[in-house]
Chain A
Amino acid sequence: MGAVPLARAEMAEFWEGLSTGALVERAQTGDSRAFEALYRRLVGRIYALCLRMARDAQRAEELTQDVFVRAWERLGSFRGESQFTTWLHRLAVNVVLQEGRTKGRREAREESVADPGEYMGRVREEFPGTRMDLERAIASLPEGARAVLILRDIYGYKYDEIATMQGVALGTIKAQIHRARKMMREKLNS
Protein backbone atom coordinates (compact mmCIF):
# COMPACT_ATOMS: atom_id res chain seq x y z
CA MET A 1 0.00 0.00 0.00
CA GLY A 2 1.33 3.42 -0.92
CA ALA A 3 1.54 6.42 1.36
CA VAL A 4 -1.79 7.79 2.44
CA PRO A 5 -2.36 10.95 0.42
CA LEU A 6 -2.82 14.16 2.36
CA ALA A 7 -5.48 16.76 1.69
CA ARG A 8 -4.59 20.38 1.09
CA ALA A 9 -5.12 21.60 4.65
CA GLU A 10 -3.14 18.71 6.06
CA MET A 11 -0.32 19.36 3.60
CA ALA A 12 -0.23 23.04 4.54
CA GLU A 13 -0.06 22.07 8.18
CA PHE A 14 2.70 19.60 7.41
CA TRP A 15 4.86 22.21 5.70
CA GLU A 16 4.16 24.80 8.36
CA GLY A 17 5.27 22.35 10.99
CA LEU A 18 8.72 21.91 9.48
CA SER A 19 11.60 24.10 10.59
CA THR A 20 13.17 26.45 8.09
CA GLY A 21 16.29 24.28 8.13
CA ALA A 22 14.28 21.17 7.31
CA LEU A 23 12.51 22.96 4.48
CA VAL A 24 15.83 24.15 3.08
CA GLU A 25 17.18 20.61 3.15
CA ARG A 26 14.15 19.32 1.29
CA ALA A 27 14.25 22.18 -1.19
CA GLN A 28 17.90 21.46 -1.86
CA THR A 29 16.87 18.04 -3.12
CA GLY A 30 14.69 19.77 -5.70
CA ASP A 31 11.42 19.67 -3.78
CA SER A 32 9.59 22.72 -5.08
CA ARG A 33 6.80 22.28 -2.52
CA ALA A 34 9.31 22.74 0.28
CA PHE A 35 10.63 25.79 -1.52
CA GLU A 36 7.11 27.14 -1.83
CA ALA A 37 6.71 26.68 1.92
CA LEU A 38 9.92 28.67 2.40
CA TYR A 39 8.55 31.34 0.13
CA ARG A 40 5.30 31.52 2.11
CA ARG A 41 7.26 31.77 5.33
CA LEU A 42 9.73 34.44 4.23
CA VAL A 43 8.07 36.46 1.50
CA GLY A 44 6.82 39.08 3.96
CA ARG A 45 10.33 39.92 5.15
CA ILE A 46 11.87 39.88 1.71
CA TYR A 47 9.12 41.95 0.15
CA ALA A 48 9.32 44.50 2.97
CA LEU A 49 13.06 44.75 2.49
CA CYS A 50 12.70 45.17 -1.27
CA LEU A 51 9.90 47.69 -0.83
CA ARG A 52 11.90 49.94 1.48
CA MET A 53 15.00 49.64 -0.64
CA ALA A 54 13.37 50.05 -4.03
CA ARG A 55 10.70 52.54 -2.88
CA ASP A 56 8.35 51.29 -5.55
CA ALA A 57 5.76 48.62 -4.79
CA GLN A 58 5.60 47.16 -8.27
CA ARG A 59 9.36 46.99 -8.56
CA ALA A 60 9.53 45.49 -5.09
CA GLU A 61 7.22 42.69 -6.21
CA GLU A 62 9.36 42.04 -9.28
CA LEU A 63 12.51 42.11 -7.20
CA THR A 64 10.98 39.74 -4.66
CA GLN A 65 10.32 37.31 -7.48
CA ASP A 66 13.89 37.71 -8.67
CA VAL A 67 15.19 37.02 -5.17
CA PHE A 68 13.29 33.76 -4.83
CA VAL A 69 14.10 32.58 -8.34
CA ARG A 70 17.76 33.30 -7.73
CA ALA A 71 17.56 31.58 -4.37
CA TRP A 72 16.16 28.49 -6.10
CA GLU A 73 18.96 28.61 -8.66
CA ARG A 74 21.62 28.96 -5.98
CA LEU A 75 20.15 26.83 -3.25
CA GLY A 76 22.88 24.29 -3.77
CA SER A 77 25.47 26.84 -2.73
CA PHE A 78 23.82 27.41 0.66
CA ARG A 79 25.93 25.46 3.10
CA GLY A 80 24.26 26.43 6.31
CA GLU A 81 27.13 28.49 7.72
CA SER A 82 24.67 31.31 8.25
CA GLN A 83 20.95 31.37 8.88
CA PHE A 84 18.98 30.79 5.71
CA THR A 85 17.13 34.06 6.38
CA THR A 86 20.43 35.93 6.46
CA TRP A 87 21.52 34.23 3.25
CA LEU A 88 18.23 35.19 1.61
CA HIS A 89 18.49 38.77 2.84
CA ARG A 90 21.98 39.00 1.42
CA LEU A 91 20.63 37.75 -1.89
CA ALA A 92 17.83 40.32 -1.71
CA VAL A 93 20.21 43.19 -1.02
CA ASN A 94 22.43 42.10 -3.90
CA VAL A 95 19.48 41.74 -6.25
CA VAL A 96 18.20 45.21 -5.42
CA LEU A 97 21.58 46.91 -5.61
CA GLN A 98 22.61 45.00 -8.71
CA GLU A 99 19.39 45.93 -10.45
CA GLY A 100 20.13 49.58 -9.73
CA ARG A 101 23.64 49.27 -11.12
CA THR A 102 22.45 47.36 -14.16
CA LYS A 103 20.06 50.12 -14.99
CA GLY A 104 22.74 52.75 -14.71
CA ARG A 105 20.17 54.85 -12.94
CA ARG A 106 21.53 54.58 -9.48
CA GLU A 107 22.58 58.17 -9.15
CA ALA A 108 19.34 59.38 -10.60
CA ARG A 109 17.37 57.41 -8.04
CA GLU A 110 19.49 58.20 -5.04
CA GLU A 111 17.82 61.34 -3.89
CA SER A 112 14.31 60.91 -5.08
CA VAL A 113 11.50 58.41 -5.14
CA ALA A 114 9.94 57.93 -8.55
CA ASP A 115 6.50 58.72 -7.18
CA PRO A 116 6.67 59.74 -3.51
CA GLY A 117 2.90 60.00 -3.09
CA GLU A 118 2.28 56.59 -4.59
CA TYR A 119 5.07 55.03 -2.59
CA MET A 120 4.01 56.51 0.74
CA GLY A 121 0.44 55.43 0.04
CA ARG A 122 1.61 51.87 -0.43
CA VAL A 123 3.74 52.07 2.70
CA ARG A 124 0.70 53.17 4.67
CA GLU A 125 -1.28 50.25 3.26
CA GLU A 126 1.36 47.59 3.55
CA PHE A 127 2.89 48.56 6.88
CA PRO A 128 -0.25 49.36 8.84
CA GLY A 129 0.50 51.43 11.91
CA THR A 130 4.01 52.26 10.85
CA ARG A 131 5.60 55.65 11.62
CA MET A 132 5.12 57.55 8.40
CA ASP A 133 7.61 60.27 9.34
CA LEU A 134 10.28 57.64 9.77
CA GLU A 135 9.34 55.85 6.57
CA ARG A 136 9.45 59.13 4.66
CA ALA A 137 12.88 59.94 6.07
CA ILE A 138 14.19 56.45 5.24
CA ALA A 139 12.86 56.73 1.69
CA SER A 140 14.76 59.98 1.22
CA LEU A 141 18.16 58.50 2.14
CA PRO A 142 20.73 57.74 -0.56
CA GLU A 143 20.67 54.11 -1.66
CA GLY A 144 23.76 52.85 0.16
CA ALA A 145 22.92 54.58 3.42
CA ARG A 146 19.33 53.44 3.16
CA ALA A 147 20.31 49.81 2.67
CA VAL A 148 22.64 49.81 5.64
CA LEU A 149 20.18 51.60 7.91
CA ILE A 150 17.41 49.17 7.00
CA LEU A 151 19.61 46.15 7.63
CA ARG A 152 21.15 47.44 10.83
CA ASP A 153 18.44 49.42 12.57
CA ILE A 154 15.28 47.74 11.33
CA TYR A 155 16.38 44.16 10.78
CA GLY A 156 19.06 44.18 13.47
CA TYR A 157 21.97 42.71 11.54
CA LYS A 158 25.45 43.16 12.95
CA TYR A 159 27.93 45.36 11.15
CA ASP A 160 30.15 42.46 10.12
CA GLU A 161 27.13 40.59 8.76
CA ILE A 162 26.15 43.61 6.69
CA ALA A 163 29.72 44.00 5.48
CA THR A 164 29.70 40.36 4.38
CA MET A 165 26.29 40.73 2.77
CA GLN A 166 27.38 43.69 0.72
CA GLY A 167 30.96 42.62 0.20
CA VAL A 168 32.37 45.90 1.46
CA ALA A 169 34.74 46.84 4.27
CA LEU A 170 33.43 47.08 7.81
CA GLY A 171 34.63 50.69 8.04
CA THR A 172 32.59 51.63 5.00
CA ILE A 173 29.46 50.12 6.51
CA LYS A 174 30.01 51.99 9.77
CA ALA A 175 30.58 55.26 7.96
CA GLN A 176 27.39 54.72 5.98
CA ILE A 177 25.30 53.99 9.04
CA HIS A 178 26.67 57.00 10.90
CA ARG A 179 25.84 59.16 7.95
CA ALA A 180 22.41 57.61 7.54
CA ARG A 181 21.43 58.17 11.16
CA LYS A 182 22.68 61.72 11.10
CA MET A 183 20.63 62.39 7.99
CA MET A 184 17.61 60.75 9.58
CA ARG A 185 17.80 63.07 12.55
CA GLU A 186 18.18 66.09 10.32
CA LYS A 187 15.22 65.05 8.19
CA LEU A 188 13.05 64.32 11.21
CA ASN A 189 13.90 67.69 12.70
CA SER A 190 13.30 69.65 9.53
Chain B
Amino acid sequence: MTRHIDDSLLQDFREGLLDPKDAGEVREHLDACAQCREELAILTELLGDLGDLPVEAQPSRDLWPQIAWRMDGVKTQGSAPSDVEITGAAESREPRPVQSRTRRRFSLPAWQLAAASIALMVISGGTVWAFLSGKTGTGGPTGPVLQSSAQLVSWEEAYGGYDQAVADLESVLERGREVLDPETVQVLEENLRAIDEAIQEAGDALIQDPASTVLQRFLADNFRKKMDLLRQAAGAVYAIT
Protein backbone atom coordinates (compact mmCIF):
# COMPACT_ATOMS: atom_id res chain seq x y z
CA MET B 1 0.00 0.00 0.00
CA THR B 2 1.73 3.13 -1.20
CA ARG B 3 -1.04 5.76 -1.21
CA HIS B 4 -2.50 7.15 2.02
CA ILE B 5 -5.14 5.04 3.66
CA ASP B 6 -8.68 5.75 2.58
CA ASP B 7 -10.73 7.33 5.35
CA SER B 8 -13.36 4.58 5.40
CA LEU B 9 -10.69 1.90 5.47
CA LEU B 10 -8.98 3.64 8.35
CA GLN B 11 -12.26 3.74 10.29
CA ASP B 12 -12.84 0.05 9.67
CA PHE B 13 -9.29 -0.66 10.80
CA ARG B 14 -9.79 1.37 13.96
CA GLU B 15 -12.92 -0.62 14.76
CA GLY B 16 -11.38 -3.98 14.00
CA LEU B 17 -13.71 -4.66 11.10
CA LEU B 18 -11.06 -5.62 8.52
CA ASP B 19 -10.05 -9.15 7.72
CA PRO B 20 -6.55 -10.08 8.89
CA LYS B 21 -4.95 -9.62 5.48
CA ASP B 22 -6.28 -6.08 4.96
CA ALA B 23 -5.58 -5.18 8.56
CA GLY B 24 -1.99 -6.32 8.09
CA GLU B 25 -1.55 -4.13 5.04
CA VAL B 26 -2.95 -1.10 6.86
CA ARG B 27 -0.69 -1.74 9.81
CA GLU B 28 2.29 -1.98 7.52
CA HIS B 29 1.40 1.32 5.90
CA LEU B 30 0.90 3.01 9.25
CA ASP B 31 4.37 1.96 10.33
CA ALA B 32 5.75 3.89 7.43
CA CYS B 33 3.37 6.87 7.15
CA ALA B 34 3.29 9.58 9.80
CA GLN B 35 0.37 11.35 8.14
CA CYS B 36 -1.88 8.29 8.32
CA ARG B 37 -0.77 7.65 11.91
CA GLU B 38 -1.82 11.20 12.69
CA GLU B 39 -5.18 10.61 10.99
CA LEU B 40 -5.67 7.47 13.05
CA ALA B 41 -4.82 9.33 16.24
CA ILE B 42 -7.36 12.05 15.42
CA LEU B 43 -10.02 9.44 14.67
CA THR B 44 -9.26 7.58 17.88
CA GLU B 45 -9.52 10.77 19.89
CA LEU B 46 -12.82 11.66 18.23
CA LEU B 47 -14.32 8.26 18.95
CA GLY B 48 -13.09 8.44 22.53
CA ASP B 49 -14.63 11.87 23.00
CA LEU B 50 -17.94 10.80 21.49
CA GLY B 51 -17.98 7.73 23.68
CA ASP B 52 -17.55 9.94 26.74
CA LEU B 53 -20.57 12.13 26.00
CA PRO B 54 -23.43 11.78 28.47
CA VAL B 55 -26.16 9.36 27.37
CA GLU B 56 -28.86 10.57 29.71
CA ALA B 57 -30.67 13.84 30.22
CA GLN B 58 -33.77 14.66 32.15
CA PRO B 59 -36.71 16.46 30.54
CA SER B 60 -37.61 19.81 32.06
CA ARG B 61 -40.82 18.33 33.46
CA ASP B 62 -42.20 14.98 34.44
CA LEU B 63 -43.64 13.50 31.25
CA TRP B 64 -45.31 10.58 32.98
CA PRO B 65 -48.70 12.23 33.67
CA GLN B 66 -49.28 12.88 29.98
CA ILE B 67 -48.00 9.47 29.02
CA ALA B 68 -50.39 7.94 31.55
CA TRP B 69 -53.29 9.90 30.04
CA ARG B 70 -52.50 8.64 26.64
CA MET B 71 -52.05 5.09 27.89
CA ASP B 72 -55.47 5.42 29.42
CA GLY B 73 -56.69 6.68 26.06
CA VAL B 74 -55.34 3.55 24.42
CA LYS B 75 -57.55 1.53 26.73
CA THR B 76 -60.61 3.77 26.48
CA GLN B 77 -60.57 4.73 22.81
CA GLY B 78 -64.05 4.60 21.43
CA SER B 79 -65.70 5.56 24.68
CA ALA B 80 -68.03 8.48 25.07
CA PRO B 81 -66.60 11.72 23.77
CA SER B 82 -65.55 14.50 26.09
CA ASP B 83 -63.95 17.87 25.81
CA VAL B 84 -60.42 16.52 25.79
CA GLU B 85 -58.20 16.00 22.84
CA ILE B 86 -54.69 14.80 23.39
CA THR B 87 -52.17 14.76 20.64
CA GLY B 88 -48.64 13.50 20.37
CA ALA B 89 -45.74 15.18 18.66
CA ALA B 90 -46.60 13.64 15.34
CA GLU B 91 -50.06 15.12 15.49
CA SER B 92 -49.48 18.45 17.12
CA ARG B 93 -47.30 20.38 14.74
CA GLU B 94 -49.08 21.21 11.59
CA PRO B 95 -52.69 22.21 11.27
CA ARG B 96 -54.87 19.81 9.37
CA PRO B 97 -58.56 20.03 8.65
CA VAL B 98 -60.46 19.03 11.74
CA GLN B 99 -62.60 16.58 9.80
CA SER B 100 -59.63 14.55 8.68
CA ARG B 101 -57.76 14.65 11.92
CA THR B 102 -57.64 11.52 13.98
CA ARG B 103 -58.89 12.52 17.37
CA ARG B 104 -58.21 10.74 20.59
CA ARG B 105 -61.09 11.27 22.85
CA PHE B 106 -61.55 10.30 26.43
CA SER B 107 -64.51 9.87 28.60
CA LEU B 108 -63.14 11.64 31.64
CA PRO B 109 -62.86 15.39 32.13
CA ALA B 110 -59.41 16.85 31.65
CA TRP B 111 -58.61 17.37 35.30
CA GLN B 112 -59.44 13.79 36.12
CA LEU B 113 -57.25 12.63 33.29
CA ALA B 114 -54.51 14.86 34.54
CA ALA B 115 -54.61 12.99 37.78
CA ALA B 116 -54.74 9.64 36.09
CA SER B 117 -51.19 8.79 36.90
CA ILE B 118 -50.97 10.13 40.35
CA ALA B 119 -50.26 7.54 42.95
CA LEU B 120 -52.66 8.69 45.58
CA MET B 121 -51.82 8.18 49.19
CA VAL B 122 -55.16 7.52 50.78
CA ILE B 123 -54.78 7.90 54.48
CA SER B 124 -57.56 6.56 56.56
CA GLY B 125 -58.74 8.91 59.23
CA GLY B 126 -59.84 8.20 62.75
CA THR B 127 -57.00 9.79 64.62
CA VAL B 128 -57.79 13.48 64.52
CA TRP B 129 -60.42 13.51 67.13
CA ALA B 130 -59.43 16.87 68.50
CA PHE B 131 -61.48 18.42 65.77
CA LEU B 132 -64.59 16.89 67.13
CA SER B 133 -63.71 16.25 70.73
CA GLY B 134 -65.89 17.92 73.23
CA LYS B 135 -68.57 18.21 70.60
CA THR B 136 -69.42 14.58 70.41
CA GLY B 137 -69.11 13.67 74.01
CA THR B 138 -67.06 10.63 73.19
CA GLY B 139 -63.63 9.78 74.40
CA GLY B 140 -62.25 8.36 71.23
CA PRO B 141 -62.89 6.42 68.09
CA THR B 142 -65.18 3.56 68.83
CA GLY B 143 -66.58 3.45 65.33
CA PRO B 144 -66.16 0.22 63.48
CA VAL B 145 -64.77 1.24 60.15
CA LEU B 146 -61.70 3.31 60.62
CA GLN B 147 -58.14 2.23 60.04
CA SER B 148 -54.96 4.11 60.73
CA SER B 149 -52.69 2.50 58.16
CA ALA B 150 -51.45 4.23 55.05
CA GLN B 151 -52.29 2.61 51.77
CA LEU B 152 -50.75 3.38 48.43
CA VAL B 153 -52.96 2.82 45.48
CA SER B 154 -52.67 3.89 41.89
CA TRP B 155 -55.10 6.50 40.70
CA GLU B 156 -56.90 3.98 38.54
CA GLU B 157 -57.47 1.86 41.59
CA ALA B 158 -58.29 4.76 43.82
CA TYR B 159 -60.46 6.79 41.52
CA GLY B 160 -62.91 4.06 40.78
CA GLY B 161 -63.78 3.91 44.47
CA TYR B 162 -63.32 7.56 45.25
CA ASP B 163 -66.68 8.85 44.12
CA GLN B 164 -68.46 6.00 45.80
CA ALA B 165 -66.48 6.42 49.00
CA VAL B 166 -67.23 10.13 49.08
CA ALA B 167 -70.91 9.46 48.43
CA ASP B 168 -71.03 6.87 51.22
CA LEU B 169 -69.31 9.14 53.68
CA GLU B 170 -71.50 12.10 52.74
CA SER B 171 -74.50 9.92 53.28
CA VAL B 172 -73.25 9.00 56.77
CA LEU B 173 -72.64 12.67 57.46
CA GLU B 174 -76.13 13.54 56.27
CA ARG B 175 -77.62 10.95 58.56
CA GLY B 176 -75.51 12.21 61.42
CA ARG B 177 -76.44 15.83 60.92
CA GLU B 178 -79.10 15.61 63.62
CA VAL B 179 -76.83 14.06 66.21
CA LEU B 180 -73.76 16.20 65.64
CA ASP B 181 -73.35 19.56 67.24
CA PRO B 182 -74.65 22.23 64.78
CA GLU B 183 -71.43 24.17 65.19
CA THR B 184 -69.46 21.08 64.25
CA VAL B 185 -71.64 20.55 61.20
CA GLN B 186 -71.09 24.13 60.18
CA VAL B 187 -67.31 23.84 60.53
CA LEU B 188 -67.38 20.62 58.60
CA GLU B 189 -69.41 22.10 55.79
CA GLU B 190 -67.20 25.15 55.55
CA ASN B 191 -64.12 22.99 55.34
CA LEU B 192 -65.67 20.71 52.74
CA ARG B 193 -66.75 23.70 50.70
CA ALA B 194 -63.22 25.15 50.81
CA ILE B 195 -61.76 21.83 49.72
CA ASP B 196 -64.30 21.46 46.92
CA GLU B 197 -63.44 24.93 45.69
CA ALA B 198 -59.75 24.05 45.74
CA ILE B 199 -60.48 20.86 43.78
CA GLN B 200 -62.52 22.79 41.25
CA GLU B 201 -59.83 25.45 40.86
CA ALA B 202 -57.10 22.85 40.48
CA GLY B 203 -59.21 21.02 37.91
CA ASP B 204 -59.78 24.20 35.94
CA ALA B 205 -56.10 25.08 36.11
CA LEU B 206 -55.11 21.60 34.96
CA ILE B 207 -57.17 22.05 31.82
CA GLN B 208 -54.92 25.00 31.02
CA ASP B 209 -51.71 23.34 32.16
CA PRO B 210 -52.31 19.62 32.18
CA ALA B 211 -48.67 18.66 32.65
CA SER B 212 -48.18 20.64 35.83
CA THR B 213 -47.04 18.28 38.53
CA VAL B 214 -47.58 21.01 41.10
CA LEU B 215 -51.26 21.21 40.19
CA GLN B 216 -51.57 17.46 40.09
CA ARG B 217 -50.14 17.17 43.58
CA PHE B 218 -52.37 19.97 44.77
CA LEU B 219 -55.39 18.19 43.33
CA ALA B 220 -54.42 14.88 44.87
CA ASP B 221 -53.78 16.54 48.22
CA ASN B 222 -57.23 18.05 48.21
CA PHE B 223 -58.89 14.80 47.26
CA ARG B 224 -57.09 13.26 50.21
CA LYS B 225 -58.06 16.09 52.52
CA LYS B 226 -61.70 15.71 51.57
CA MET B 227 -61.60 11.99 52.15
CA ASP B 228 -59.87 12.47 55.50
CA LEU B 229 -62.36 15.03 56.66
CA LEU B 230 -65.34 12.94 55.65
CA ARG B 231 -63.88 9.93 57.40
CA GLN B 232 -63.34 11.91 60.56
CA ALA B 233 -66.91 13.11 60.43
CA ALA B 234 -68.25 9.65 59.70
CA GLY B 235 -66.18 8.32 62.59
CA ALA B 236 -67.75 10.86 64.87
CA VAL B 237 -71.22 9.89 63.72
CA TYR B 238 -70.50 6.22 64.26
CA ALA B 239 -69.10 6.99 67.68
CA ILE B 240 -72.24 8.59 69.00
CA THR B 241 -74.90 6.51 67.31
Contacts and interface: CB of A to CB of B under 8 A. Distances in A.
B51 A98 contact: no
B46 to A, nearest CB: 6
A73 B89 CA distance: 16
B47 interface: yes
B90 interface: yes
A127 B53 contact: yes
Given A8-B152, A39-B64, A69 B57 contact: no
A98 B93 CA distance: 14
Interface of A is mostly: helix
A19 B123 CA distance: 30
Contacts of A63: 89
B170 interface: no
Contact of B54 (A11, A59, A102, A130): A130
Contacts of A43: 58-59, 63
Interface in A36-70: 36, 39-40, 43-45, 47-48, 51, 57, 59-66, 68-69
Interface in A10-33: 10-11, 32-33
Nearest to B7: A182
A61 B117 contact: no
A154 B53 contact: yes
A178 B53 contact: no
A49 B67 CA distance: 18
A127 B54 contact: yes
Interface string B203-227: 0000000000000000000000000
Nearest to B150: A7
Range, interface on chain A: 35 or more
B55 interface: yes
B128 to A, nearest CB: 19
B57 A48 contact: yes
Interface string B75-97: 00000000000001110111000
B70 interface: yes
Nearest to A69: B70
B92 A62 contact: yes
Nearest to B123: A7
B46 A181 contact: yes
Nearest to A175: B8
B229 to A, nearest CB: 21
B89 A154 contact: no
B90 A98 contact: yes
Interface string A129-173: 111001100000000000001000111100000000000000000
Interface of A: 5-8, 10-11, 32-33, 35-36, 39-40, 43-45, 47-48, 51, 57, 59-66, 68-69, 72-73, 95, 98-99, 102-103, 126-131, 134-135, 149, 153-156, 174-175, 177-178, 181-182, 184-185, 188
Interface of B: 7-8, 11-12, 42-43, 46-47, 49-61, 63-64, 66-68, 70-71, 74, 88-90, 92-94, 117, 119, 121, 149-154, 156
27 contacts: A6-B152, A33-B119, A33-B154, A39-B63, A44-B57, A47-B58, A47-B59, A48-B54, A51-B57, A57-B59, A61-B63, A65-B70, A66-B89, A66-B90, A72-B67, A72-B71, A103-B94, A126-B60, A127-B53, A128-B54, A130-B53, A130-B54, A153-B47, A154-B55, A174-B12, A181-B11, A181-B47
Given A44-B58, A153-B51, A178-B11, 6 more contacts: A8-B152, A39-B64, A40-B64, A48-B56, A131-B52, A154-B55
